[in-house]
Amino acid sequence: MIEILICDDQEIITKQLSQLIQEYTLQHKTSFWVKSYQSGEQLITYLQKEEPMKRIILLDIEMPIMNGLEVAKYIRHDLKDYASEIIFVTGTNGYERNLFQVKPSGFIPKPIKRTQLFETLGRSYQLLETQSPFFNYSQNGIDKSILLDNILYFESHGRKKVIVSQHHNDWFYENMSQLNQRLEEYPQFVHCHRSYIVNVNHVVRIDGSDLVMENKQLISVKPKERARVEHVLLELF
């Protein structure tokens, strides 16, 4: 599921955008998870704790303390989030040149027009669906996603699979054979042990029969898989 984050210091605008997004989902039969914030600081606090996912950010430029352009720079440069689709919502002109620094996906002037918002949302939705490499999974009936590049490894505990990433851990239920099938198109993921599928892009070194991951976790490699792991490492590096 794609998450839409609305950030505007005017509550009337956040409510209007939320209502229009609800209309969009009904009209286009899509599904979004919508959250609203009334300051850039609140939005950044949320993003600092959450894993990058399929995300559209509707961001007002004119906000007190930290304006929208500063928030966007923080998202791109400090959080290293280059996948989220950032759409600026503003009633002020004159920022166009600076906007190129954060690669926005759209620009919606105030007062907000339904047609323009819908067109911009549709464009961003298509970009996220076709260009961003995400791993999708379900947890307690909630659809979630995570950037594949951020996953260090999957750890199996029976049917429960733990995703260990650069930012935090999460989990879902799936058997190992199904998970392996889903990851077949991504050669960086190697099933090196009965309980582990590793992203070799996050392997620091091979220490004997163990892989040393970026988080310092040691993961054993089955003897019959060692040659394949080494081959993938050489291919990708």
For position 102, what pLDDT does the model report? 77
Q: What is the pTM of this model?
A: 0.68
Each residue of 64-89: pLDDT tens digit? Answer: 999 999 999 999 888 888 888 999 99
> Alpha-carbon distance 146 to 136, whole Å?
7
Contact predicate 190/228, CB 8 Å? yes
> Alpha-carbon distance 208 to 164, whole Å?
23
Would you call 81 helix, strand, or coil by DSSP?
coil
Helix segments in the chain, DSSP class H: 11-28, 40-49, 68-73, 96-99, 114-131, 176-182, 223-236
Structural domains in the chain, CATH included, are 2-132 (3.40.50.2300), 146-236 (2.40.50.1020)
CA distances to 46, 66, 74 from 42, in Å: 6, 10, 13
For position 196, what pLDDT does the model report? 94
For position 112, what pLDDT does the model report? 93
Q: φ and ψ at 84, to 5 degrees?
A: -65, 140
> Alpha-carbon distance 118 to 76, whole Å?
24
Q: Read off the tokens for 232.
A: 């993938």
For position 233, what pLDDT does the model report? 67
For position 187, what pLDDT does the model report? 84
> Alpha-carbon distance 19 to 13, whole Å?
10
For position 99, what pLDDT does the model report? 62
As averages over each run of 10 residues, the pLDDT of the chain (237 residues) reads 92 96 92 93 93 88 91 90 88 58 81 93 84 83 85 95 90 95 90 91 85 91 76 63
Would you call 166 helix, strand, or coil by DSSP?
coil
